[in-house]
Amino acid sequence: MRTLAAATMLLTRVPVPSSAGGVDPARAAALYPLVGAGIGGVVGGIAVGAGELWPVLVVATLAVAAEVILTGALHLDGLADCADGLAGRDREHRLQIMKDHAIGVYAAATLSLHLLVKVAALAALLHALRPEEMLLLLVGVYATSRGAMLPLARLLPYARTDGTGRAVVEGLGTRQLLTGLVLVLVGSAATVAVDPGAALLVTLVAALTTLSIGLLAQRRIGGVTGDVLGACAELTVSAMLLAAVAVLA
């Protein structure tokens, strides 16, 4: 339970016992998909429940807002930093920009479009799916998105000499990676229950998105950072939702 609490602490703003801070972050990372499934359950539960009161566009906006509050916008911050930083002139300049908390025009545009895509995709899926299907789909999508960070952390070097993601990237072993991937498969079973073909497509899209982010990060900064991992979690969600809309809506 302490390990799960530690993973929850690293990915959300949910209060957990202080003892969770003593757990090895790399060990806790293996449970990221489980925490992701919980996030998806909350987002899906709000979407389904609020659907009894408001139109789908309002409901989708509330669901995305709930996710932002639940996660403390942690991964949105990583996406913003990457959007600004990866456009820098060289590796050191890119890393310097990514460390700066200021929001540039690339970050602002990326965040705005990313959130719009999420809202639009959720609204389309709310139109097309039954409540229980919506809930299962989001559980699977969010479990997969949090698990998508693990291959990048395991296979690529840490691009900085220090930083919040270093303990995970340098400490994650094959055992933790395999545990996380098994949990991703378990979470994906929820998507299979909605539509096996859609489950296969969204999983493939998640893998391709993760691979693309990894290749870009390796080329631009020589590895990954906590920001890159956060951006991966966010972009895989949007990519999977778009794939789900393509075949289910």
- Give the domain ranges of the chain: 30-248
Average per-residue pLDDT for the chain: 94
For the chain, the residue count is 249
- Output the pLDDT for position 37: 97
d(C-alpha 149, C-alpha 58), whole Å: 30
Q: Which tens digits make up the pLDDT trace of 62-88?
A: 999 999 999 999 999 999 999 999 888
The distance from CA 189 to its chain's CA centroid, rounded to whole angstroms, is 18
pTM as predicted: 0.95
Nearest to 76 by CA among 92, 65, 88, 62: 65
CA dihedral 138, 143, 144, 147 (to 10 degrees): 160
Nearest to 144 by CA among 193, 61, 204: 204
- Output the pLDDT for position 65: 97
For residue 47, what pLDDT band results from cuts at 50, 70 and 90?
Answer: very high
For the cut 90, the answer to whether the pLDDT of residue 228 exceeds it is yes
- Measure Cα distances from 4 to 27, 87, 175, 187, 223 in Å: 10, 36, 16, 16, 27
For the cut 80, the answer to whether the pLDDT of residue 120 exceeds it is yes
